[in-house]
Structure 1
Amino acid sequence: MEDSNEYMLGWNEGWDVDVAHQLLPLLQQDISEQEEICQLVGEYVMPYVCKEPRRTSRQTGQMWVNEILQGHPDRCYEMFRMEKHLFRQLCATLDELGLKKSKKMRVEEMVEMFLNTIGHGVGNRMIQERFQHSVHRNFHKILAACLNLSKANIKPFDPSFQRCHSKIQNDLLYWPFFKDAIGAIDGTHVPCVVSVVDKIKFIGRKGYATQNVMAVCDWDMCFTFVIAGWEGTAHDARVFDNAISTPSMHFPHPPSGKYYLVDSGYPTLNGYLDPYRCERYHLPDFRRVAGFANNNEVFNYYHSSLRCTIERTFEVWKNRRNSIIDEQFIQAKDESVDVLEEDIDIGEAYSSNLPRSLRQMQHVRDIIRDQLVNHIN
């Protein structure tokens, strides 16, 4: 009580003692509130204004990059899935395509950040810790440059398709029957991450979100055209129609007299040779039961044997990026009768509406079938 009176001396002169005792708790409450406000302001200022540095490692990302490039050749390949001379060539090419260094990162460090991410599937925070930099903006810079690079590389080696490929000429299984075949077309489903709103249409019969990717390859197992981004529920014929009918995609259309090999999931169009429907087609089906039931199966067997080049190309891609896609990299069409029957319904409905002038591929298919039958007999 004496302490309270001493505290009140000086400011309460002329005040009634009872009134002063009533005001004192209010004053103490006000002081407590001000202290809490100051504490909250301090809690905000320390982390957001007076920030503590997060990336404080003595070995910066550039130092680590220099160490890798100056070290054993295997370290570069293990970390970035690329040999040293190829890495330097890639950096120079991307620089020519417009990739420039930033204030804090050189082009080499940006590229190695990108390669380390896609080559090992490393998460965002791990890359930030390794390179002591933020990732998002620099990653998308590299991605945009690589997309420009793909335009210059994913294309036919011979756009006119005048020469027959040596794979066909030097293999008696296919020569001269498929001398006009210039490549193969197929689709594959690649796992993807999409928003909750769009997720449903990306979930197909595989049970998880995928995008339907259509690709064209030549007989050297090199991609000559790729279209990605279609939802997993989209049928191959729909993706195919969009690719060949959109001029801005620069699809490498086959010239007159040439054709791509496609499976029964694609329509019968001029320049695209599909197999006989309602017959055995996939190679495992022929392994289970030896021999051919009819002449159409003879054509289907050789057609499938050559067209599986695109499937092997997908497998090579899968094996080189298996740390990211692993076993979830699944081809769009399993080698099973069920899928073939599913493709028959849609493919037949598509082709039944085609003009008669576009059905000359059926005549080409019959000619090749007869030649193959005469050859094996």
Structure 2
Amino acid sequence: MDLVNDSDFDLTDDIVLATYIAGCACVAYVETYMTKVPMHTNIQTGYEWVQYILNGNEQKCRNIFRMSSHVFRQLCNTLRTQYGYNGTKRVCVEESVAMTLVVLGHALGNRVVQDRFQHSGETVHRQVATVVTLLATVMAPDIIKPADRTFRNVPEHIQHSNRYWPHFKGCIGAIDGVHVEVVVPVDEQHPYRVRKGIITTNCMCACDFDMKFTFACVGWEGSAHDTRIFLSCLNNESANFPKPPPRNYYLVDSGYPMKQGFLAPYKGERGTYGRSEGGHYDAMADVISMLDEAEMREVRNNITASICS
């Protein structure tokens, strides 16, 4: 009998490597498809959790959704009746809106929202993107606007105030900016970083005396100056900024320029005078109210002439 050489049974490195890879693939297949442990196994579904929050403690609802339960339901009803958004077959409007508010209000990641609402990452992403797009591009322009773009009526807050009437009868609202912290990719963070070291976006908003927003400009880098944003909104017709008519004006923060239609605090003055808690405008009203009728009329006419000239 011929003896077989041991060299005939030597395995090459390629065969050993191929065998190892095949074994790993088999193990991965078994763990993934044959012994897979379900991920979304919470006995409380996302819809049930939303109903639990809405029907529970009101303060808890405000903490979670950043709004009261009746406002939440009204928002969902508006999206459903006026904008035709009915959610999807598996995700209702309430659950879709709740996902969006949780993400926006608490900066939660996709994986955390998956676990809370018991949906896949793709479903969470699609629902949040749909609601955000609907709110920002369709619903917001219908809501964030003046009740009357001609500003013919003097605000009741001015008419019924002995402090402000008639000194501010031409005032139609106030403009101010606010920095909102945002999450930005690392390679794009530099223009959004402010002097305090945080990443923000600089927003400019206008509101009337009913505390309703009449204009909002969002998306600017945190390092952008208030004046730059202000002038961009004022000069860009597509921004649809509600400009003040002749002889009307906005009260603006000291970060904005003093120009026709926009009244800023006097530079170099402190924001509080004596016992007044309303800042420079309250103080100015107090000073004017101390003048007699003739002097008051002269001061008022000078202010109006300087603003509306």
In the alignment, structure 1 residue 35 sits paired with structure 2 residue 19:
yes
CA separation in 2, counterparts of 1:229 and 1:110? 24
Greater fraction of residues in helix: 1
Give the match's secondary structure for 2:229: helix
In the alignment, structure 1 residue 236 sits paired with structure 2 residue 171:
no
Does the aligned pair in 2 maintain the 1:168–1:178 contact within 8 Å? yes
Does the aligned pair in 2 maintain the 1:192–1:210 contact within 8 Å? yes
Bigger Rg over Cα: 1
What displacement does 1:69 show? 4.9
Alignment of 1:216-255 (within 5 A): 216-255=206-245
In the alignment, structure 1 residue 367 sits paired with structure 2 residue 280:
no
Q: Which residue of 2 aligns with 1:353?
A: none
Q: Which residue of 1 aligns with 2:44?
A: 59
> Which residue of 126, 129, 146 maps to 2:112?
126
Q: Which residue of 1 aligns with 2:127?
A: 138
CA separation in 1, counterparts of 2:152 and 2:10? 97
CA separation in 1, counterparts of 2:117 and 2:101? 13
Does the aligned pair in 1 maintain the 2:163–2:282 contact within 8 Å? no
RMSD, matched Cα = 3.2
Give the match's secondary structure for 2:102: helix
CA separation in 2, counterparts of 1:126 and 1:251? 38
CA separation in 2, counterparts of 1:304 and 1:157? 29
Does the aligned pair in 2 maintain the 1:154–1:224 contact within 8 Å? yes
CA separation in 2, counterparts of 1:71 and 1:189? 32
Q: Which residue of 1 aligns with 2:184?
A: 194
Is there any run of 5+ residues in structure 2 with no aligned partner, and where? 286-297
Q: Which residue of 1 aligns with 2:72?
A: 87
> Which residue of 21, 26, 38 maps to 2:11?
26
Alignment of 1:1-377 (within 5 A): 17=3, 20-26=5-11, 32-46=16-30, 52-69=37-54, 76-77=61-62, 79-95=64-80, 96-133=82-119, 134=121, 135-147=124-136, 148-277=138-267, 279-283=268-272, 286-287=273-274, 301-302=280-281, 367-368=302-303
What displacement does 1:55 show? 1.0
CA separation in 2, counterparts of 1:143 and 1:305? 42
TM superposition score normalised by structure 1: 0.66
- Closer/same/farther in 2, CA of residues 364 and 104 from structure 1, 3 Å limit: farther
TM superposition score normalised by structure 2: 0.79
Aligned residues: 285
Give the match's secondary structure for 1:103: coil
CA separation in 1, counterparts of 2:179 and 2:57? 37
Give the match's secondary structure for 1:260: strand
Does the aligned pair in 1 maintain the 2:61–2:68 contact within 8 Å? yes
Deviations 1:117-147 (A, max 9, x none): 3445544333211210132221111111221
CA separation in 2, counterparts of 1:102 and 1:40? 39
Higher relative contact order (CA 8 A, sep 6+): 1
Equivalent AA in structure 2 for residue 269 of structure 1: K
What displacement does 1:78 show? 5.4
CA separation in 1, counterparts of 2:261 and 2:186? 40
CA separation in 2, counterparts of 1:139 and 1:128? 12
What displacement does 1:60 show? 1.9
